Each structure stands twice: as structure tokens, then as C-alpha cells.
Amino acid sequence: MSLHSLLRASPAAGVFLMVACLSFPAFADRVVKDQIGHEVHVPNVVSRAVILQHQTLDIAVELGAFDKVAGVLEEWKKQLGPRFARLAPGIEKLPTPGGLTKVNIEELLKLKPDVVFVTNYAPEEMREQIAAVGIPVVAVSLLTVDPAEATKLNPQVKDETAATDQGLTDGIRLIADVLDRKAEGEKLIAKATASRKLVAERLAGISEAQRVPVYMANPDLTTYGHGKYTGLMMERSGARNVANAIAGFKQVSMEDVLAWNPAVIFVQERYPAVVDDIRKSASWQGIDAVKNGRIYLMPEYAKAWGYPMPEALALGELWMAKKLYPDRFADIDMKKEADDYYREFYRTSFDLEQ
């Protein structure tokens, strides 16, 4: 029995403490470079993966690799929304040995994983805890930045378009490589960028002054400024992010929102309660978007998150552009576009009730 197999078969404290002192590359089969610049030794065949990052979990499902997932982050329902369970049947029964910023080593070892995916901003001590017991740790950010910024929640981004486009491509390829879904990864990358030209052509001629001022409303008055994919999604869709002056993902004040006075407010699908809060709260009633009834709960695929996702590029940017400039996209049937995408990558039809 190989040392790797022995570790997986017996997670007893004495065994894994002994293994922690050994050189993991001795029983690793190949090396991948993750998105924080670390070279990681992973088995040639990964059969059991624990995923402690929601973006990687979603992409793994789209790659048809959910059958390899042995455990998931405890926040998956909060981050992906409860409806995600229909896209990953059985996920509600999977163990949750940790989250975005923490891990329970004892529970993790019980799952005998070949690899653990974490977010780029997972604490160093968390990554070291996992690596110390001989389990490969692969960090995913979906963003290409300078090495000094790679492990930050709100990294400094010099060129948002380049950082996002290359970061998403590299991230999908990394996940697909580790999970042996390279061909599926290339199909997903191609689909993610297919509608970019159409949107750009339809929005040609819109000046900066004509762009619709838009605010992304999250719980507790948190929103996204520059350096996050959300703002880039708005830009590509013909909008102007009113919160662009702030850096990263932060909480703002009601005074800020009133001063910005957005014409449109978008709310991510995972936060439906925010829509009702805005509509019912007296403090929001003077804002143009509220007065004109232009508060939109985004569909599941339009993930205006801080980090890019393939469905957001493939469908979300198109949906947002159509919502802001309906006359320019009158011929686009978003339900058909979504259904085609879902059938290809989620292997199910899109819920037409959305």
C-alpha cells in the first residue's frame, strides 16, 4: 500500500502526525500551479475532492465533475442560493468539513480526499493545516493579479478586463485539469465568451453620459466598487456603477446611496429579501430606481459577484444589457438562451418560472 493510500485509509492522529513530517511529493503524481502561485502536487487521478469555495463548486458542477465531490463548504446554500441544490442533486447530504476561511481537520480526514480546493483568501494557517496532514491544497481566485495581491479578499487590480478574463480562463482550466475534465473546461471557456461581441455591437455608440447609473444592493448596505467583476459586468452591459469610487466589496451608508441616486437597482438572486427591504423602507423611497419601480432581482445565472463566473459572462451580461436597453435586444429570448446553456452545462432545463 502506498503512503498516500495508507494516509487515506487511517486518519488516526498518530498516523497523520507522522505523515506530516514526510515529503508529500514522494507520493504525488503531477504538479499544478494554483492561482496564488503555489506549485501543488496532486494525484494523477482525483476521485474524491473537497471543495471549500462556492465558485469552484459551481464550476465543478458545470464541468460534469460533481460525482467526484466528497464534501463542500458549509456556506454553500448562502453563497449559491438554496435553489442550487437542484443543479447538484445530493449536495444537501454531503459533509461540510469547513468553509471559506476555516476547516475542521478531523472531519476533513474522515472524507479521505485526494485534494481540497480553497478560495484564494483562505487564511494561510488554514491552508497549512490541510497541507500538514498530506492533503494537496489548490487555491482558486478566478482573477489574475500580482503575487503580492493574490491572497487578498480585495486585491488591487491594474487592468480589470485582463485580470478577469485571464483569471476566469486560468481558473476553469486549473479546476478542469485537477478533476480530469479538460475538454469540458475548454467548452465552458468558449461558451463564456461567445456573447461578448454581440453585446458590444448592440451597445456601440452609447456615451459615458448616456450610461444608466446602477447600484448593486446586497444585505447590510454592502456593495461592490472597482476591482470586482460586478463593476466590469455593469460596464460591459452599458451601465455605470455608482459605487465605482470605493475599492472592492464594502459596506456603504444610506447617505452614500441617496447621493448616488441610481436609476436602476439590481439585487443578486441569492438575496431576495433585499428587494422587499428596499421597497418597504422609507429611507429608500426618494431614490429614482424605487420611485420608478426599477428594482430587479437578477436571475440565477446573472451572477454579479466580486469574481467572474462563466454563466455570468455567457448569460448575465446579456441579460443586464437587455434589461437596461430593451429596444436594442428585443430579438433576444433570454429564457431560450438560458435553457440552452443549462441543458449543455448543468444537464437540466432552466426553470422557466424565474
Digit-by-digit pLDDT tens for the chain (354 residues) are 434 444 455 544 444 444 444 334 445 589 999 999 999 999 999 999 999 999 999 999 999 999 999 999 999 999 998 889 999 999 999 999 999 999 999 999 999 999 999 999 999 999 999 999 999 999 999 999 999 999 998 888 889 899 999 999 999 999 999 999 999 999 999 999 899 899 999 999 999 999 999 999 999 999 999 989 999 999 999 999 999 999 989 999 999 999 999 999 999 998 999 999 999 999 999 999 999 999 999 999 999 998 899 999 999 999 999 999 999 999 999 999 999 999 999 999 997 554
Q: How is residue 56 written as a grid cell?
A: 469552484
DSSP string, 147-202: GGGTT-SS---S-HHHHHHHHHHHHHHHHHHHTT-HHHHHHHHHHHTTTHHHHHHH
Record the pTM: 0.86
Decide: 138 and 118 in contact? Cβ < 8 Å.
Answer: yes
- Residue 327, number of CB atoms within 10 A of its CB: 7
163 conformational bin, left if phi > 0, alpha if psi -120 to 50, beta if neither: alpha
Q: How far is CA 256 from the centre of its chain?
A: 27
Q: How far apart are CA 241 and CA 348, in angstroms?
A: 33
Q: Which DSSP helix (H) or strand (E) runs through 222?
A: strand 222-224
For residue 130, the one-letter residue type is: I
User: 73-127 pLDDT, tens per residue?
Assistant: 999 999 998 889 999 999 999 999 999 999 999 999 999 999 999 999 999 999 9
β-bridge partners, 265: 215, 295
Q: How far is CA 93 from the centre of its chain?
A: 22
Decide: 131 and 123 in contact? Cβ < 8 Å.
Answer: no
Decide: 222 and 251 in contact? Cβ < 8 Å.
Answer: yes
Residues of 160-176 as b/e, b for ≥16 C-beta within 10 angstroms?
A: beebbbebbbbbbbbbb
- Start-to-end CA distance of the chain, whole Å, equals 52
